[in-house]
A = this chain, B = another copy of it.
Amino acid sequence: MFSIDLADDAQLFPLEVWHAEEFLAHIDRGREFIGQFIGFPDRATDLESARQLLRSNAEKAAADGRRLYGIRAGGTLVGGVLFADFDAAAGNCEVGCWMEPAGTGRGLVTKACRVLIDWAFDVRGMHRAEWHVAGGNEKSIAVARRLGFTREGVLRQSHLHRGVRQDIEVWSLLADEWAAARTA
């Protein structure tokens, strides 16, 4: 019902359990590409597991926690952004993204993340946003840099993905940094 225009033909919207078929079709198209760094493709392998993934995320959103948002381009779900973690009491959240090839190269993720970060800092009064990214994921690192995140450190060999231990970079953005960047 609700959406925000990211571009003429691209929208951001809350991803809910009834989107399971659309979500699965999207994951099927991007399974190889997305799966390089993101766990979704290994968890959503059929309609039932896709529904389960969306359902468990929706339950967290209902408790004001983790939230998923889809991005449609030309009417097709091509990726999304998320609050991988959202802890209102602590004032901390973690932002992330995923995208199938057809959705890349247009700045949609960056625009979508701006919407999330604006909401987190301005509407919800959060203090700090994190961005976790595997060391080799250049596209994602570029988004973090573009959004003004600061690299805080590397969690060495901390993420086991498809049998390989990846280094995870932690980047962060503080509320006052975000405010300063906008007025600059």
Contacts and interface: CB of A to CB of B under 8 A. Distances in A.
Contact of A1 (B59, B115, B152): B115
A141 to B, nearest CB: 15
Interface of A: 1-4, 13-14, 16-18, 55, 58-59, 61-64, 88-92, 115-116, 119, 123-124, 127-128, 130, 150, 152-160, 165, 170, 172, 174
Nearest to A172: B156
Contacts of A172: 155-156, 158
B17 A62 contact: yes
Contacts of A16: 62, 64
A17 B64 contact: yes
A156 to B, nearest CB: 6
Nearest to A2: B2
A59 B88 CA distance: 18
Given A152-B155, A155-B172, A170-B155, A90 B160 contact: yes
A156 B153 CA distance: 11
Contact of A62 (B62, B115, B153, B165): B62
A128 B154 contact: no
7 contacts: A1-B119, A2-B4, A58-B62, A58-B63, A62-B62, A128-B156, A130-B158
Nearest to A170: B153
A88 B1 CA distance: 15
Most chain B beta carbons < 10 A, residue from A1, A91, A128, A156: A1
